[in-house]
Amino acid sequence: MTVDVVVLGLGYVGLPLAREASRAGMSVLGFDVDSRVVDSLNAAQSHVDDVSDDDMAAMLRAGFRATADESEIATADAAVICVPTPLSPTGGPDLRAVESAVHAVARHLRPGMLVVLESTTYPGTTDELVRPILEKSGLAAGTDFHLAFSPERIDPGNEHFGVRNTPKVVGGHTPACTDRAADFYGRFIDTVVRTKGTREAETAKLLENTYRHINIALVNEMAKFCHQLGVDLWDVIRAAATKPFGFQAFYPGPGVGGHCIPIDPNYLSHNVRAKLGYPFRFVELAEEINATMPAYVARRAQNVLNDAGKAINGARVLLLGVTYKPNVADQRVSPASTLARRLADLGAVLSYHDPRVTHWEIGGVEVPRAGDLESAVAEADLVILVQNHREYDADRLAGLAKQFFDTRGATTVDEAYRL
C-alpha cells in the first residue's frame, strides 16, 4: 500500500500542509518523532491553532494517519520535511532535527521518490547537507530520486492566506527535480513559482523574513524619536500607507516574537559570516534595535505611572495579550515574556489576561491570570496592551483603565498612551 506523500514534522507548518493535500484528495501519512503528537492527531485532536479538531476528523475520514514508525516512510511517493530549525545556544543554526529527519528518509529512500525540505534554513543546506545524507543510500539525486527545497510561508492566524492560495516557491536540484516538485505542489496549491535551484529558493525565504525584520526595526527606531519629537508615528504610517506604490506599512511594537522573525535572519547572517567572513550589517543592526523594545516599553510604562504620581515599584500592572502575535495561542519567543521580566525587575506586581493562554510563567514563576477582563482592567494601576487580540475593544478598555498604555496603535481615544 503506497501513499502520495509523507509529511515529516506535524507542527504549525506540517499539519496545515497535510490537511491541504488531504483535502485535494491525496493520500497523506504524517510522521512525527513525538508520540504524544501522533496519538492526539490520530484521536482527532489538533495542537495547532489553524487546524481545528473538525479538520482533523475530516482528514482521518479521508485516510490521513499519523505514525511514529519511520519504516512507513518507504510507502510514500514523496517525503516533505517540515521539522523545526531553531538557533543553537551560540546563536547559529541548529539543524539537528533536519539531519535526523533526512537520515530517516535516507534509510527508507526508494528509486523515484521526491524529497522536499521545507524547513527555513541557510542557502546551500539542501545541496550540502541534505543531498549527501540521502545519497549515502547509494541512490543519486536528480537521477534515482528527485530533490527540492520549497520554503514554507505559513502565517498562523491569517484568515485570508493559507497553504492553498499562498504561492509556493520551488527550487529543485536539477530542472527535472523542479518540475517534479512543481507538479506535486500544483496538485493542492494554486500557484507554484519556480526558482533556478535550491539555493535561490532557500534564500528567497530568508529575504522575505529579513525584509520584515529590518522594516520592523526601522519603525521601532522611529517610534522612539517620534515620541520625543511629539510626532504620532501611527498617524504617520497611516498617511504614508495611502501611497498606492513603493511603500508597505510596518508597525512598531514591544519587540519581535515567534519562531521566524527573530530567528531566520540569523541563519543568513551566520552563514554569510561563516562562509565569507564579514557581517550582514542590516540584520545585525535590526536585531540590536528590535531587542531594545521590551526594555523601552518597560521604561515608557514607568513614565506613564510617573505621570499619575505612582512608582512602578509595587504598582499593579496588567498585561493584555501575551502571545507572539494576535489571535493565536502560540507563545514561542513572545516579547511579552521579556517585557514582563523587565517590569518585574522594576518591582511591578504583574497579572495578565489572554483569552488563549490559561497558564503563563516567567522564569519559572506563575503570573496570576485575570478572570474577568473589564474588572481586571479597572482595578490595575496600569494596563499595557501587548497583543491586540480580536476580543479586545481597545478604546473601551482604555476608557475603563486608570492608565492605559497601547503598544499596538489600537486605540484612538485621548485617555490612552501610545507607543
Ligand X SMILES: NC(=O)c1ccc[n+]([C@@H]2O[C@H](COP(=O)([O-])OP(=O)(O)OC[C@H]3O[C@@H](n4cnc5c(N)ncnc54)[C@H](O)[C@@H]3O)[C@@H](O)[C@H]2O)c1
* Active centre residues (catalytic): 260
Q: How near is the Cβ of 150 to ligand X at its closest, in Å? A: 11
| Phi/psi at 309 (5° precision) | 75, 25
Write out the three cell numbers for 223: 517610534
What distance in Å separates the CA atoms of residue 311 and residue 327, rounded to the nearest whole number?
Answer: 32
Residue 183: name the closest of 376, 365, 369, 5 by CA.
5
- According to the binding rule CB under 6 A, does residue 106 interact with ligand X? no
- According to the binding rule CB under 6 A, does residue 156 interact with ligand X? yes
Long-range contacts, 413-418 (Cβ 8 Å, 24+): 417/300, 417/304, 418/232, 418/234
Binding footprint of ligand X, residue count (CB under 6 A): 26
Q: How near is the Cβ of 153 to ligand X at its closest, in Å? A: 6
Integer CA distances (angstroms), 124 to 48, 127, 145, 223, in order? 30, 5, 19, 37
Among 6, 79, 260, 383, binds ligand X (CB under 6 A): 260
Q: How near is the Cβ of 155 to ligand X at its closest, in Å? A: 7
Query: What is the DSSP pairing of strand 365-366 with strand 361-362?
Result: antiparallel
Query: Among all residues, whose Cβ is closest to ligand X?
Result: 11
Among 11, 142, 157, 326, binds ligand X (CB under 6 A): 11
- Interaction residues for ligand X, span 184-203 (CB under 6 A): none
- According to the binding rule CB under 6 A, does residue 149 interact with ligand X? no
Residue 129 or 222 with smaller CB distance to ligand X = 129
- According to the binding rule CB under 6 A, does residue 56 interact with ligand X? no
Residue 47 or 316 with smaller CB distance to ligand X = 47
Q: Which amino acid is at 224?
A: K
- According to the binding rule CB under 6 A, does residue 8 interact with ligand X? yes
Residue 228 CB coordination number (10 Å) = 7
What distance in Å separates the CA atoms of residue 207 and residue 201, rounded to the nearest whole number?
Answer: 10
Q: How near is the Cβ of 97 to ligand X at its closest, in Å? A: 4
Q: How near is the Cβ of 238 to ligand X at its closest, in Å? A: 27
Contacting residues toward ligand X, per CB under 6 A:
8-14, 31-34, 37, 82-85, 97, 100-101, 119-120, 152, 154, 156, 259-260
